[in-house]
Amino acid sequence: MNATLGLALILLSQAPARPEVLFAEAPPIEVWVSEDWPVESLSALARLPGTSVGLRTRSNMLRPELAGAVARGSFLVELSPRLVQAHVDQFRRLTRSHLVIALPENPGEELRSRLSYLGPQPLRFLAGRLDAARASWLAGFKNVEVELDLRSRVPDQEELGLFVGLARARRVVRLRSSDPPEILEGLRLAKPVRVVIEADGEPIAAPMLAALARLDCAVRIRLAAGASADELLRFAHLGRVSFEVWLGDNAPSELRGLEELLRSVSLESRALPVSAPAPQGEGKRQQGAAVKKNALGGASSLDRPGEAQ
């Protein structure tokens, strides 16, 4: 070994470690859990910084103590389109809830009437495909988000045109990490407010990551339950990024794991005591060259304040 190489190795060994790249604050994350979770666990989950909570339901009726928690908080609730008057009566009182409904093949006027009775509550429709009848039905709603499922398929020109025609809706597209990145270029005409990429157990390849970085819209990454901090931090360079995760039924363990994950990826959360509620004041966020802060867009009634649009 020559003297120059030896000196270089000594200097490298004495150099400070490369600073860890973190989110400045807890990244927005939409967490879906079973309606069977204990109410106290749901409340603790909702207090985690940046977290919005979605409830997976077996029916369209919430048990009384759960309905009370939904009335006090801001939850997303998955509903079946088979709504009856009793369901509507309950959710009409839960004015802070955001309802998520899979769009049926033939929505019909009865479903429109039920949903209209709810008042101005925000709605998110999950559309497997769009045809002229369903697009026309959706066009009659305000304060609505339409998520078009394009996982493993490419829409034809007619369907894409119908999607673009939903001018009053917030348009969202869902893809798989294995889908070709070129589809993102083809979706520019649709001008989605968000693209959701499902990465459940599948790494997102470099070409897809590069295509996401070029998007002029928010990006949401769906991760598998138990995702590591490294998996989240892979996306810290994206400007408007949020995450989605579906948790299991072991509420204490799942809650503890998510809390530890958020504490490990954000500078803000590391400063919080364990199980503390989110701070009330915004204060000044500590900045630094090692921190990637998300340039989040404005808030919407369909998202928690500060969530990427």
User: Domain holding 86: CATH number?
Assistant: 3.20.20
Residue 236 has what pLDDT?
87
- Let me know if residue 301 belongs to a domain: no
pLDDT, tens digit (0-9, with 9 covering 90-100), for 237-281: 888 999 999 999 999 999 999 999 998 998 766 555 555 444 444
pLDDT, tens digit (0-9, with 9 covering 90-100), for 182-200: 999 888 888 899 999 998 6
Q: Enter the DSSP assignment of 287.
A: -
- Let me know if residue 80 belongs to a domain: yes
∠ CA 80-116-148 to the nearest 5 degrees? 50
- Alpha-carbon distance of 193 to 145, in angstroms, equals 10
Query: Mean pLDDT, consecutive 10-residue segments, the chain of 309 residues?
Result: 44 40 88 96 93 94 94 93 93 93 94 90 95 96 94 93 94 94 87 91 85 91 90 88 94 94 80 47 35 34 45
- Alpha-carbon distance of 135 to 61, in angstroms, equals 28
- Let me know if residue 188 belongs to a domain: yes
- Residue listed under structure tokens 């039920």: 114
User: Which tokens sit at 91?
Assistant: 């959710």
User: Which tokens sit at 10?
Assistant: 């000594």
Residue 20 has what pLDDT?
56
* Beta bridge partner(s), residue 79: 101
Domain count, the chain: 1
- Let me know if residue 8 belongs to a domain: no
Residue 293 has what pLDDT?
37
- In terms of Cα–Cα distance, which of 290, 232, 287, 307 is closest to 264? 232
Residue 123 has what pLDDT?
96
- CA 61 → CA 13, 152, 234, distances in Å? 62, 33, 39
User: Which tokens sit at 87?
Assistant: 């369901």
- CA 300 → CA 18, 77, 92, 196, 307, distances in Å? 37, 17, 20, 17, 8
- Let me know if residue 226 belongs to a domain: yes
Q: Is 16 helix (H, G, I), strand (E, B) or coil?
A: coil
- Let me know if residue 302 belongs to a domain: no
- Let me know if residue 1 belongs to a domain: no
- Let me know if residue 2 belongs to a domain: no
∠ CA 145-300-221 to the nearest 5 degrees? 65
Residue 126 has what pLDDT?
98
Q: Which domain holds residue 181?
A: 19-292
CA atoms within 13 A on the CB side of 288: 13
For residues 162-173, one letter each, b for 16 or more C-beta atoms within 10 angstroms of the residue's C-beta and e for the rest, the string is bbebbeebbbbb
- Alpha-carbon distance of 105 to 203, in angstroms, equals 33
* Torsion-angle region of 55 (φ positive above 0: left; ψ -120 to 50: alpha; else: beta): beta
